[in-house]
Amino acid sequence: MSNFLKARLRSFAYAFQGWAYVLRNEPNAWIHAFVTVLIIPLAFWLHLSARDWAVLLLAIVMVWAAEFFNTAIESIVDLASPEENPLAKAGKDVGAAAVLIAALTSILIGLLILGPPLWKKIALYLQ
């Protein structure tokens, strides 16, 4: 049992090393981090329902996961094909497109969930 727990702790350490790698090497990850840090306090301030929180968190996680997968794809492609190759480019471009789709979808989700209660709060302050 002790070895099992040690192995699980090591796997968490590897995962956090991967997260740190993305933050160190992917400038877009800082955009995701910035937006995440803005959206979560805003959602608290708006007193979202549990269902809205669930959808919002899924949208945030979808973008982060897409960014992590894209970084993994880019790293593997760079290792396997250090020279320029049309298939390597296609793989990288498709990974980037996945992040773009996730980010655009999360913006729409954010507007749908945060927009109405935010407008109500803004309207109260403007009265």
**Mean pLDDT for each consecutive 10-residue tract of the chain (127 residues)?**
87 94 95 97 97 98 98 96 94 97 98 96 88
pLDDT of residue 33: 96
How many whole angstroms separate alpha carbon 103 and alpha carbon 58? Answer: 12
Domain residue limits, the chain: 28-126
Architecture of the domain delimited by 28-126? Orthogonal Bundle (1.10)
**Dihedrals phi, psi of 90, to nearest 5 degrees:** -60, -45
Per-residue CA distances from 52 to 37, 66, 91, 113, 118 (Å):
17, 21, 34, 6, 13
pTM of the model: 0.89
Contact 54, 126 (CB under 8 A): no
Instruction: Write out the catalytic residue numbers.
Output: 67
**Is 95 exposed, middle or buried, given 0-12, 13-18 or 19+ CB atoms closer than 10 A?**
buried
pLDDT of residue 124: 87
Helices (H), ranges, the chain: 2-25, 27-45, 50-80, 86-126
pLDDT of residue 5: 87
